[in-house]
Amino acid sequence: MTILLTKETESMIAEAIHPVSIAEADCMHRIKPVLMFNHMQELAASGIEKYDIRYGWSNLLDKGLAWFLIRYRVEFDSTPRDCSEIKVVTESRGCRRMNAYRDFEVYDNNTGNRILRASSCWFVVDINNKSVVNIQKEFPEFYLYEEREDDLELQKLRPIERVDFEKTFHVRYDDLDINNHVNNTVYITWALEALDADFRKSHDLKSMDIYFKHEITYGEDVVSQVMYDRENNVTEHTIRSASTGEELCLLRAEFV
């Protein structure tokens, strides 16, 4: 999967360059994954407006609708150290019934080496009754998704079978986004924060699969649970509401 700019795809593709500050790298001098995910989401917002302002965040919000990120499949090509600048590229891939698809790539802008590639799935949700909109039916002008041979496959995830470690987090005001929901990248932080520090320091991410299932509100507590498969360098995560036990997010990460 490579995002290629052509005359046919020009309106679907957007890119942006971002500096990487010292605070956005970890103690091993690696870019924090959440930094890249934040910039990917930001570019998705500007990218959909570049394609057609009618589907932009502000215009949808005026209709009581909002984009919700549901799934990610992310594959990491490299783990640059001391990277000072990244380039993020995204391509809107169209819709199929309830689902809209979007691809991403992130590069070390100094070397040109690709850091990751990702596929994602989005819903349009009626924020008043929480129902999912049939994008293809509601917006018939929205172009249709077509598969490509090198597409990343969004994986099905299941709750973990055992809990090797868990950690509780309190939902802070600063965890909320402009929709008054916990930002998706916070769930990723909660999942990775449940891993022990020695493991994080000695392993680099190879892939991530993420399924955002339900939202959580300000002031509540969440439990981040992890199951280790140390033989295969795989961790599986379930994030739950501490009060109800409801599954909020499922995540699987592969490391090297």
Q: Which of 236, 237, 190, 240 is nearest to 214 (CA)?
A: 240
Which residue(s) pair with 211 in the sheet?
A: 71, 250
Sheet-wide strand order for 114-126: 13-19, 85-96, 99-108, 114-126, 65-76, 205-212, 247-255, 234-241, 221-229, 165-170
What pLDDT is attached to residue 3? 84
Q: What is the pLDDT of residues 129-187, one digit of tens each?
A: 999 999 999 999 999 999 999 999 999 999 999 999 999 999 999 999 877 889 999 99
Give the predicted TM-score (pTM) of the model.
Answer: 0.94
Asked whether the predicted pLDDT for residue 76 surpasses 80, the reply is yes
Q: What is the pLDDT of residues 4-42, one digit of tens each?
A: 777 778 889 999 999 999 999 999 999 999 999 999 999
Average pLDDT on 73-77 reads: 98
Q: Which of 254, 176, 187 is nearest to 223 (CA)?
A: 187
What pLDDT is attached to residue 1? 61
Chain-centre distance for alpha carbon 239: 15
Domains of the chain listed by start with CATH number: 10-138 (3.10.129.10), 165-255 (3.10.129.10)
How many CB atoms sit inside 10 A of residue 189's CB? 17
Question: What mean pLDDT, rounded, does the chain reach?
Answer: 95
Average pLDDT on 188-198 reads: 97
Residue 201 and residue 28 in contact, taking contact as beta carbons nearer than 8 Å: yes
What pLDDT is attached to residue 10? 87
Distance CA 122, CA 66 (A): 10
Which residue(s) pair with 17 in the sheet?
A: 87
